[in-house]
Amino acid sequence: MNLTLNLSLWIGAGLLAVVFLVSSAKLFVPKEKMVGMSAASRWVEDFSPGALKAIGALELLAAAGLILPAALDIAPVLVPLAAVGAVLLFVGAVIMRFRRGEKVTIVGDLVYLALAAFVAWGRFGPESFSG
């Protein structure tokens, strides 16, 4: 087992989990309040409150799925599946930002997308939990 790669994957999954946990606040914060938070959160205007709650729920599940299965050693195969789900969420975010012309805020989503792809690749491949 390559300790450096394994540690890098844990750090990447942890960072993504924190990002998802913070952004899952969509479950509790009203849409009107989110719109006024910052210029980067103007995208919520394009979604219904129900869709925002669904996105928040997916983000909360992603946060849990990136860490808990491996940490508790219960179905650790869920970690790379959660990472693939994170990749899909960020692909959607990048497409949405591209359509809205938000070139500055798309950079963060691309970084998170690359990090999620790295975790998925590593946990499906060289540092899977099945070995």
Closest CA to 84 of 128, 119, 127: 119
Q: Where are the domains of the chain?
A: 3-124
| Chain Cα centroid distance, residue 112 | 7
Prediction pTM value? 0.89
Q: How many CB atoms lie within 10 A of CB 64?
A: 16
pLDDT in tens, 44-101: 888 899 999 999 999 999 999 999 999 999 999 999 999 999 999 999 999 999 998 8
